[in-house]
Chain A
Amino acid sequence: MKKVLVIILLVIIGYFLAETFINIPFGENRIGDINLEKPTAAGYYLSNTTEKSKVANVITAIVVNYRGLDTLGEVTVLFLATTGIASILYRRKEEEENAETERLSLPSSNIVRSGARVLFPTIALLGIYVFIHGHLTPGGGFQGGTIVATGFLLMLISYKGFNTNHNRMVWIESLAGLSFIFLGIWGLISDNTFLGNIPEVGKLNSLISGGLIPLIYIAVGFKVAVELTGILDILLKIKPKK
């Protein structure tokens, strides 16, 4: 009975969604001419990114520069999620001592451990490459940070004794966050807007270009990598039920 009611509700919702999206033709150009005096927002970003910001990847320019404050909020949300998970899954001291060595109930095989040792530097290098080249190629801080966290995940599930250094993680996290805000204030001083840019460095499509944008994305990459590794570390340390 309940399922029939839900399906009727879903049919109604689906009908109205389809009705709405029939009126938005797929593939139509809604940007307009980007060289007008007053283009749309997307047209402004497309026409000004190469000249004013000297960044090849327009999405990087939007995420870090034009909508930089949103990204600061997003990184804060990730940090709050990590803290929230740590406090939701909080254990008392005596439970902690019992669960110290029980990250995995079964040890992983020799093949997995040897493979993880070979693959971990490669994965970390790929992640760092992705977030250093965020202003030139697809990718950036979030993607590269996630790839680095995936490498740490491989080590965490294959080695029983592999522990992330908590102090070092706190330091990297705080320094990355502080450097984000420091670079934002630098933009405030030089460009009169928070997270403004100084694009006079380098030329388009070279590694050193884009002013403060690559530096901010590298800080975001370190912060995201450490936060996601923290989430995985907390979740993997839960004592499994007997």
Chain B
Amino acid sequence: MQEEFNEIFLKYHEIITLGVYGTAIGLMLIGLYAILTKKNLVKIVIGLSIFDAGIHLLFVGIGYVKGGTAPIFSPGYENAGNRMVDPVPQALVLTAIVIGFAVTAVALSLVIRLYKHHNTAKIDQIKSLKW
């Protein structure tokens, strides 16, 4: 399917640009909406992880090169470096996904602790600052 993706890329350039950038920006806006309007802490963390997903898609989308292959050399194609996509954003996103998981885990453990203390996970019902 990847070869076909490269072929149709030239034909429907605008649609694919809209598909990748539009989806990434859409995911970021949906995540931001959840962070700003929701009152439940678990929902806010869900919004954070969706926001993260949008940023990852945006980075990998910027690194894509028309007609490029994945940055892995196969035997016999040692000089194929000119036809590869940008590897730097991919390495960055690889790091960002793992760090994002660590952030989500710490945030959720804080939510569990808050729920045990206040018996609620809604931020408008948590009145005291000390816990």
Contacts and interface: CB of A to CB of B under 8 A. Distances in A.
A57 B72 contact: yes
B128 interface: no
Contact of B90 (A30, A41, A59, A142): A59
A201 B2 CA distance: 34
B9 A70 contact: no
A231 B109 CA distance: 10
B70 interface: yes
A27 B13 contact: yes
Interface in A55-75: 56-59, 62-63, 67, 70-71, 74
Interface residues of B, number: 48
B28 interface: yes
Interface in B78-121: 78, 81-82, 84, 86-88, 90-91, 94-95, 98-99, 102-103, 105-106, 108-110, 112-113
Nearest to A43: B81
A81 B88 contact: no
B98 A21 contact: no
Given A26-B13, A27-B9, 19 more contacts: A9-B36, A13-B32, A17-B25, A24-B62, A46-B71, A56-B74, A57-B73, A58-B72, A58-B87, A62-B87, A62-B88, A63-B94, A63-B95, A74-B95, A74-B99, A77-B99, A88-B113, A231-B105, A235-B105
7 contacts: A7-B33, A18-B25, A25-B17, A26-B61, A59-B72, A88-B109, A205-B74
Interface of A: 2-3, 6-7, 9-10, 13-14, 17-18, 21, 24-31, 33-35, 41-42, 45-47, 49-50, 56-59, 62-63, 67, 70-71, 74, 77-78, 81, 84-85, 88-89, 137-138, 142, 204-205, 224, 231, 234-235, 238
Question: Which 7 pairs show the lowest CB-CB distances between chains A and B?
Answer: A81-B102, A27-B66, A58-B71, A46-B81, A26-B17, A62-B91, A85-B109
